[in-house]
Amino acid sequence: PHESNNGVYDEEQADAAAVPRPMPGERRKVALVTGITGQDGSYLTEFLLGKGYEVHGLIRRSSNFNTARLDHLYVDPHNAAKARMKLHYADLSDASSLRRWVDALLPDEVYNLAAQSHVAVSFEIPDYTADVVATGALRLLEAVRCSPKPARYYQAGSSEMFGSTPPPQSESSPFHPRSPYAAAKVAAHWYTVNYREAYGLFACNGILFNHESPRRGENFVTRKITRAVGRIRLGLQTKVFLGNLSAARDWGFAGDYVEAMWMMLQQEEAGDYVVATEESHTVEEFLQAAFGYVGLEWKEHVVIDPRYFRPAEVDNLKGDSSKARKALGWKPKVGFLELVKMMVDHDLEIAKKEKVLADAGYIDAHQQP
């Protein structure tokens, strides 16, 4: 991404550099992204802007600002001629808002990334999770199907859909979801397949295994750990409370994974693809790597708290992404240890700033994130 000195996305600077401009008489490709304020939405937006797209994001109303991950890409709408990323209010639970933006923008590509994406929270709010994750996808598919110019559609599927199916998991492995979130994602997966088969929609399911980054939400286990490592290293806290340490996940870097989403929509035919590093590590191994990187012993700082155990767990995920590697030419660039270091380095910087504020009495150091 191209940023000016004050961190604001600078179209002129970007266009002067490598960003493709449309040919005379051509319009820019238009992408519509739900979940644009989330981890993947921000990386996908950067990627699409770099490809010369105009990116429209649907954001939901919140009493707090929820656009922090996009601030570096934001151009004031009063400078609208320059802005290639635009944000609009809508909600996956509000069909009319989806329909209106799809019809108004006539996008070339729609990326459905919005979700109540926390597995443990989906046990607390199952009905809402199903409404946004499953029915929300159906509402968006309907909006796309009914549009005068149906866009290519990407559905953010998840390795959670495999649940208790043993690894390696590929496109042909059976789904056995273990949470309301995962069951809702299975429904969204089949809605997408059905709209492809029934209406000939160019609709793809990406079945993405866990992907993380410094922008990962702070209540997912990797980020929870790296935030704690930064703060413990700087003396801002001493303990971190966690649940099941023996679960194994196939963890990749989000920046690599959004590229696969785009690649799926550039193919001649729509299809479903597993995207994974094909390497699996336990939560304990992540702890070892993250604490070890800054010279700390994780066992001295981790406390097991039963509240973080889930009513049903997914024990072991390890993807087989050979289809995506062969058909899309995709492969991950960032490995496990590099990912851990990237996240810890980032969170050490945050902790340093917190320490300055805490030492000056502006924040309470004991107020853990």
Does 181 participate in catalysis according to the annotation?
Answer: yes
Q: Examine residue 311 and say whether the peptide bond preceding it is cis (omega within 30 degrees of 0).
A: no
In the bound state with ligand NDP, the residue whose beta carbon lies nearer, of 154 and 232, is 154
Interface positions, 3-42, toward ligand GDR (CB under 6 A): none
**Residues written for the chain:** 369
In the bound state with ligand NDP, the residue whose beta carbon lies nearer, of 41 and 271, is 41
Is 331 among the residues that bind ligand NDP (CB under 6 A)?
no
Interface positions, 283-312, toward ligand GDR (CB under 6 A): 283, 308, 310
Minimum separation from the CB atom of position 356 to ligand NDP (A)? 27
In the bound state with ligand NDP, the residue whose beta carbon lies nearer, of 51 and 60, is 60
Contact 231, 293 (CB under 8 A): no
Is 34 among the residues that bind ligand NDP (CB under 6 A)?
yes
Interface positions, 217-246, toward ligand NDP (CB under 6 A): 217
Is 114 among the residues that bind ligand NDP (CB under 6 A)?
yes
From 9, 154, 181, 257, the catalytic residue: 181
3-state class of 346 per DSSP?
A: helix
Minimum separation from the CB atom of position 235 to ligand NDP (A)? 29
In the bound state with ligand GDR, the residue whose beta carbon lies nearer, of 66 and 147, is 66
219's contact among ligand NDP, ligand GDR, none, with CB below 5 to 8 A by partner kind, is ligand GDR
Is 64 among the residues that bind ligand NDP (CB under 6 A)?
no
Interatomic CA distance for residues 330 and 207, integer angstroms: 14
Does 142 participate in catalysis according to the annotation?
Answer: no
| Residues 6+ positions from 199 with CB-CB distance below 8 Å | 145, 150
34's contact among ligand NDP, ligand GDR, none, with CB below 5 to 8 A by partner kind, is ligand NDP
Interatomic CA distance for residues 90 and 74, integer angstroms: 18
For 72-139, give the DSSP string.
Answer: GG---GGGTTT-SEEEEE--TT-HHHHHHHHHHH--SEEEE------HHHHHHSHHHHHIIIIIHHHH
Residue in 193, 247, 296, 363 binding ligand GDR, rule: CB under 6 A: 247
In the bound state with ligand NDP, the residue whose beta carbon lies nearer, of 83 and 115, is 115
Interatomic CA distance for residues 225 and 213, integer angstroms: 12
C-alpha distance from residue 133 to each of 15, 63, 283 (Å) = 36, 22, 26
Is 45 among the residues that bind ligand NDP (CB under 6 A)?
no
Interface positions, 172-231, toward ligand GDR (CB under 6 A): 210, 219-222, 224
**Buried b / exposed e along 292-329 (16+ C-beta atoms within 10 A):** ebeeeebeebbeeeeeeeeeebbebbbbbbebbbeebe
* Span interacting with ligand NDP, options 38-46, 291-299, 320-328, 333-341, rule CB under 6 A: 38-46
Is 179 among the residues that bind ligand NDP (CB under 6 A)?
no
Listed residue (63, 61, 84) closest to 9, CA to CA:
84
Interatomic CA distance for residues 267 and 182, integer angstroms: 27
319's contact among ligand NDP, ligand GDR, none, with CB below 5 to 8 A by partner kind, is none
CA 267 to chain centre: 22
For tokens 């094909």, what's the residue?
278
Interatomic CA distance for residues 150 and 143, integer angstroms: 9
Does 218 participate in catalysis according to the annotation?
Answer: no
Q: Which residues bind ligand GDR (CB under 6 A)?
A: 117, 119-120, 158-160, 210, 219-222, 224, 242-244, 247, 249, 283, 308, 310, 313
Question: Would you please indicate which residues are annotated as catalytic (active-site) residues?
Answer: 158, 160, 181
